[in-house]
Amino acid sequence: MFKKDSDKTFMEAKKRVLLVEDGKDHQMIIKASLGSEFDLTCVETGQKALEVLVDESFHLVITDIMLPDIDGFEVCKEIRKDAKHSHLPVIFISSKKESQDKLLAFALGANDYVVKPFDMGELLARVKANIHRPHSTEDTEESESIRLAPFELSTSTHRVFIDRQDGKDEILLTKTELLIFQMFLGHPDRVYSRAQILEKVWGSDVSVTDRTVDTHISKLRTKLKPFGSCIEPVHGFGYRLNLKKIQKAA
């Protein structure tokens, strides 16, 4: 994901955050809140953000939706198109609080969405959570497992365990079910369209349809009972792993 000759220096320094925000007041507030813990770079337009991302590496992007040129949705879409940044965490900050805007953001690959005005302590917590969560295949391979209580998925042995009151149970999943669940578990609350799931799990296999995705997810939900309902359909967009439902059911 990053240039090999700069990996060590990049990881040992302060985590780098790119802020895309044209409002001076919000820039100042966010700088004051995040600046002591993160190396913050601020730009005021979506196009400038994309230009900066060509030459520089970041651990996370925070972007407003309403920008002077291209909007935050377009910025996120372009980030996800670039293999170098396809797993880069993106947090939206916006005064747009309608559910359709949030769902569109998640469908385009956003990792989080914070409505203005927001508490800076909450934004700081969300930034930390997204930066430290495994987002790339490389991160996942190094950690060898993805843990999100009550689930644990081992990427080295391809086994899934669930914590019960009387100990751990292994959930026997097919290869396809495992790939789907790994995708959701690595990015809780992110909405994946059926097309995105098809591409990530089946690649270029043109014989697979949307209905195939629905069938595999239905079987996966059955095997994960009583937590299966935590993988929920998002009308008009796709599916997501609902973190709040997991926490309530655990």
Q: Give pLDDT tens digits for 217-240.
A: 999 999 998 888 899 999 888 999
Q: Is the pLDDT of residue 76 over 90?
A: yes
Cα angle value 107/110/116 (rounded, 5°): 110
Tell me which range, 1-5, 88-92, 128-132, 162-166, is most confidently predicted by mean pLDDT: 88-92
For the segment 173-228, what is each residue's pLDDT rounded down to a tens digit?
999 999 999 999 888 888 999 989 998 888 877 688 888 999 999 999 999 988 88
Tell me what pLDDT residue 136 has: 45
Least confident of 17-31, 59-73, 97-111: 97-111
What are the structural domains of the chain? 4-132 (3.40.50.2300), 137-249 (1.10.10.10)
* List of residues 6+ apart from 68 with CB closer than 8 A: 22, 44, 45
* List of residues 6+ apart from 73 with CB closer than 8 A: 65, 104, 105, 108
Tell me what pLDDT residue 134 has: 56
0.75 surpassed by pTM:
no
Q: Strand, helix or coil at 122?
A: helix
CA 148, chain centre distance (Å): 14
DSSP 166: T
Residue 127: other Cβ atoms inside 10 A: 24
Provide the β-strand partners of residue 39: 16
CB 60 within 8 A of CB 88: yes
DSSP H or E stretch at residue 111: none
Provide the β-strand partners of residue 20: 43, 63
The number of residues in the chain equals 250
The first and second tokens of residue 238, run together, are: 């796709």
The first and second tokens of residue 20, run together, are: 């895309």
Helix axis angle, 175-186 relative to 194-202, nearest 10°?
A: 120
Give the CA count within 13 Å in the CB-facing half-sphere of 67: 24
The first and second tokens of residue 87, run together, are: 């797993």
Distance in angstroms (rounded) separating the CA atoms of residues 151 and 221: 13
